[in-house]
Amino acid sequence: MADAFTGPEPDLAALLASRPALSMQAREGLCFESVPLNAIADQYGTPVWVYGAGSMEARYKALRAALDAENLPAHIHYAVKANDHLAILGLFHRLGAGADVVSIGEFLRARRVGVAGAEIVYSGVGKSAAEIEAALAQGIGQINVESAEELEMISGIAARMGVSAPVALRMNPDVDAGTHAKITTGLAENKFGIAAAEIPALYARAASLPGIKPRGIALHIGSQILSTTPYAEAYARAAAMVGALRAQGQSVEVLDLGGGLGIGYHDEPGLNLAAFAATVRRAVGGLGVQLLLEPGRYLVGPAGLLLASVILQKRTEKRFVVLDAAMNELMRPALYEAWHGILPVDPALFHGAQSPADVVGPICESADCFAEGRALPDLPPGTRVALLDTGAYGAVMSSAYNARPRAASVLIEHGQTRLITPRQAPQDLWADEIV
Ligand SMILES: *Cc1c(COP(=O)(O)O)cnc(C)c1O
Cα of 55 vs centre of ligand 1, distance in Å, is 20
* 8 Å CB contact between 364 and 402: yes
- 2 pLDDT higher than 50: no
> Coil, helix or strand for 177?
coil
* 8 Å CB contact between 75 and 215: no
- Total H helices, total E strands in the chain: 13, 21
- 111 pLDDT higher than 50: yes
* 8 Å CB contact between 283 and 64: no
The verdict on whether omega for the bond into residue 214 sits within 30 degrees of 0, i.e. cis, is no
Catalytic residue among 26, 364, 434, 435: 364
Distance in angstroms (rounded) separating the CA atoms of residues 205 and 52: 46
Per-residue pLDDT at 4: 52
Structural domain spans, the chain:
12-53+302-430, 123-295
Cα of 294 vs centre of ligand 1, distance in Å, is 6
Task: Quote the DSSP letter at residue 261.
Answer: B
The b/e string for 396-426 (b: 16+ C-beta within 10 A; e otherwise) is bbbeeeeebebbbbbbbbeeebeebbebeee
Per-residue pLDDT at 1: 32
Nearest to 140 by CA among 246, 49, 245, 215: 215
Cα of 241 vs centre of ligand 1, distance in Å, is 21
Whether residue 364 lies in the annotated active site = yes
Return the CATH fold of 123-295.
Answer: TIM Barrel (3.20.20)
Q: Is the CB of 100 under 6 A from ligand 1?
A: yes
Q: Is the CB of 391 under 6 A from ligand 1?
A: no
Q: Quote the pTM value.
A: 0.96
Q: Is the CB of 123 under 6 A from ligand 1?
A: yes
Q: Is the CB of 260 under 6 A from ligand 1?
A: yes
Give the architecture (CATH level 2) of 12-53+302-430. Answer: Beta Barrel (2.40)
Mind giving me the DSSP string for 24-75?
Answer: EETTTEEEETTEEHHHHHHHH-SSEEEEEHHHHHHHHHHHHHHHHHTT--EE
Q: Is the CB of 394 under 6 A from ligand 1?
A: no
User: How do residues 220-229 score in pLDDT, each as one tens digit?
Assistant: 999 999 999 9
User: How do residues 23-72 score in pLDDT, each as one tens digit?
Assistant: 999 999 999 999 999 999 999 999 999 999 999 999 999 999 999 999 99
End-to-end Cα distance, the chain: 45
Distance in angstroms (rounded) separating the CA atoms of residues 287 and 243: 8
User: How do residues 404-432 score in pLDDT, each as one tens digit?
Assistant: 999 999 999 999 999 999 999 999 999 99
Instruction: Tell me whether the CATH fold assigned to 12-53+302-430 matches the one assigned to 123-295.
Output: no
2-6, 124-128, 239-243: segment of lowest average pLDDT: 2-6
Give the number of the atom of ligand 1 that is nearest the alpha carbon of residue 297: 8
Q: How far is CA 378 from CA 298, 310, 390, in A?
A: 33, 11, 23
Cα of 312 vs centre of ligand 1, distance in Å, is 37
Per-residue pLDDT at 71: 98
